[in-house]
Structure 1
Amino acid sequence: MTPNVTAHHCVNLPFRIDNFIRGEKWIFGDAWCRANLFMLSVNRSASIAFMTAVAVDRYFKVVHPHHKINHISTKQAAGVACFIWGVVISLRIPLLANNLLSVENNVSLCRSFSNYEKTPLGIHLHYAVFILEFFVPLILLVFCSVRIACILHSRQMNKDKRGQRAIRTVLVIVGVFVLCFFPSIGTGLTALYFKKLGDKYCEGYNLTSQLFSMSIAFTYLNSAMDPVIYCFSSSVFRNYLKKAVNQTGLMKLQMSRRESMPSGSD
């Protein structure tokens, strides 16, 4: 997203991290700025949504093994995926509908978080989504993890290989989620807190707002971590990878047996 929230009255402080990194000068115009930030935000939101969907799927398979949601068809699953994409894209439309270019010291900057004399309603929505899409899924992920662990323990299956796999799947999702998305939300909210405290906290504000920009790299890391989640959550995906490795002739990996059990670990 390349977001930044630098306050106008704080920009001339001597300590600036961006003195040590490449500048943010944007030369491609307003339309490409909007498209770029829109796609980056959709990537973030979609990754969070689908990670949460995988965790909720594990939850239903373990905690409610007889629920009808566990027996949806491939076509229905595709419909759910399309619905998720539709919601994600709809919530990010404001990034296409508002001017995201700002000018500082005669330099054009492309940022989805900027200072506005009067912040547009669509940008307020963007800010709200950015915050809620972290905390709401985090609560769901923690809830799913705790419930799965408790149910497997009550069934005395927490030491079973399949039960351990179910717990491990959700814990991996929680770990990847926190690693990829906490740095940006943590530094962003801290920057806003310093901003509200006034001018004497400008140095702290400048530091955290620049760390906010840098922390977005962790957001992009989620795309590289998605195969890790799929590997833990799907025996089909694991077998596909093992088959690909076996075909190289470098080693021979044993294929996983697809298991069907009430706890739904596969």
Structure 2
Amino acid sequence: MENSSDADNNCQENIDKSRALYIFYSSVVGLEFILGILLNISVIHLFIFKLKFWKSKTIDIFLFNLVLADILLLIGLPVKAYNFQQCSENKVVCKVQLFLQFLNRGASIAFLTVISIYRYYSVVHPGRRKPLRILKRSPQISICIWVLLGILTIPAMLQSFIRCNSNEHDEEFNYVVLLREIVFFTQILIPFFVLVYCSIRIINRLIQRSVGDKTKLRRAMFLVTTVVLVFAVCFLPYAITRAVQLKMNGLVMKEEKVAVVKLYDGFLCLSYLNCLLDPILYCLSSSKFKKIYMSMYLPFLLEKQQPEISDDNADE
């Protein structure tokens, strides 16, 4: 393994060669932070002070936790933007940023998956009371998700040296690293297949139940399909390049590794876009929530809108 001074020199050399690219990455992350934090904070404000989510429907509690996870993930983005431009970092700050990234990205994906499963049973199997009764215990399920992910995130914090910058030297493989990578790929790939399955079944069920209301059907199908596409675009390229990066570790020339690292960092920036799109897809897709949101923050647009067919039932 390289010593720390050699790693810093290699990192600086790689950064200098791609200064413009990493400044662009840093700018993208900064923009995602500003837009995402404003949108998510405004949404969570409505959940707390207008909807009083703890007294609302089951799905509102899951949505609140989804937005909360996105906010906590966004908090670490300024550090990530800084690390895209610098090779040196405070190791304590680095570990905190990585903890936020692993924990809250996992929580965001977990709550997204639970919401899809809840909607699947509500639309496709409304008569199966036992699964719905379990899913309606949303406070207990939410606590279990946070606790479980907190435990699974511990391996990311146990390494004696944890990378904040992808341009640094290769990690020494051990069981902690293996466990961390298993958690990483599991929390992306399994939810993706669950989302695809639930979405296909929901669309088929909506088509069967449609009795002439084509507008509502199209909107519901568009929402379900968009959720899967956003997940695929944000997370699958990120996971695939991570797998390639791990496979190439120690097996190829330095220049090839640098090219994959640049691609990985670009897809990492893209993955943060999910935090910006979640509130739009899951909260503002509800006619009721959208009306409250726009009347409070964008009243000038509400006056121009035509009456809409409510799609709240398709959302749940």
Which residue is equivalent to 2:282? 230
Q: Tell me the residue number matched to 1:19.
A: 17
Q: Compute the RMSD of aligned alpha carbons.
A: 3.5
Alignment of 1:36-115 (within 5 A): 36-68=97-129, 69-70=131-132, 76-101=137-162, 115=170
Counterparts of 1:16 and 1:239, CA distance in 2:
49
CA distance in 2, matches of 1:158, 1:133: 39
The alignment partner of 2:89 has SS state of: coil
* Alignment equivalent of 1:243, drawn from 295, 300, 304: 295
C-alpha change, 1:135 and 1:152, in structure 2 (3 Å) is same
CA contact (8 A) 1:52 1:140 kept: yes
Q: Which residue of 2 aligns with 1:209?
A: 261
What secondary structure is seen at the aligned counterpart in 2 of 1:100? coil
Q: 1:20 to 1:157 in 2, by over 3 A?
A: farther
Distance in 2, matches of 1:136 and 1:113, equals 29
* C-alpha spacing 1:71/1:101, structure 2 compared with 1 (3 Å): closer
TM-score by length of 2: 0.64
Match of 2:49 in 1: none
**2: CA distance, partners of 1:139 / 1:228:** 22
| Correspondence for 2:171 | 116
Q: How far is the alpha carbon of 1:19 from its aligned partner? A: 1.7
Distance in 2 (CA, whole Å) between partners of 1:126 and 1:114 is 18
Range that drifts further, 123-132 or 225-234:
225-234
SS of 2:160's equivalent in the other structure is coil
Whether the aligned pair in 2 keeps the contact of 1:194 and 1:202 (CA below 8 Å) is no
Give the structure 1 partner of residue 223 of structure 2.
Answer: 169
Which of 143, 160, 178 matches 2:214?
160
Alpha-carbon distance in structure 2 between the residues aligned to 1:55 and 1:235: 18
**CA deviation map 1:57-80 (0-9, x unaligned):** 221121112233546797x22222
Give secondary structure in 1 for the equivalent of 2:127. coil
Q: Which runs of 5+ in 1 are unaligned?
A: 1-7, 103-108
**SS at the partner of 2:272?**
helix
The worse-fitting range, judged by mean Cα deviation, of 145-154 and 35-44 is 145-154
1:88 Cα deviation after fit: 1.9
Q: Shift in Å at residue 215 of structure 1?
A: 2.0
Report if the CA contact (8 A) 1:34-1:96 is conserved.
Answer: yes
Q: Which residue of 2 aligns with 1:4?
A: none
TM superposition shift of 1:136:
0.6
* Offset from partner CA, 1:97-132 (integer Å, 9 cap, x none): 322346xxxxxx656996333x34332211111111
Per-residue deviation at 1:43?
A: 2.2
- The residue aligned with 1:3 is none
Q: Is the 8 A contact 1:242 1:253 kept in 2?
A: no
What residue number does 1:220 align with? 272
* Cα pair distance change 1:155/1:256, threshold 3 Å: closer
Aligned pair count reads 243
In the TM superposition, structure 1's runs of 4+ consecutive aligned residues that sit over 4 Å from their partners are: 15-18, 69-74, 109-114, 156-159, 254-261
Deviation of residue 190 (structure 1)?
A: 2.2
In the alignment, residue 116 of structure 1 is paired with which amino acid? E
Specify whether residues 185 and 158 from structure 1 end up closer, same or farther in structure 2 by C-alpha distance, changes over 3 A only.
Answer: farther
Aligned partners of 1:230 and 1:49: how far apart in 2? Answer: 14
Alignment of 1:27-42 (within 5 A): 27-28=89-90, 30-42=91-103
Q: Deviations over 1:161-180 (max 9, x none)?
A: 44333322221211221121
- TM (norm. structure 1) is 0.74
Greater fraction of residues in helix: 2
Instruction: Pick one of 154, 174, 185 that aligns with 1:131.
Output: 185
Quote the Cα distance in structure 2 between the aligned partners of 1:139 and 1:111. Answer: 28
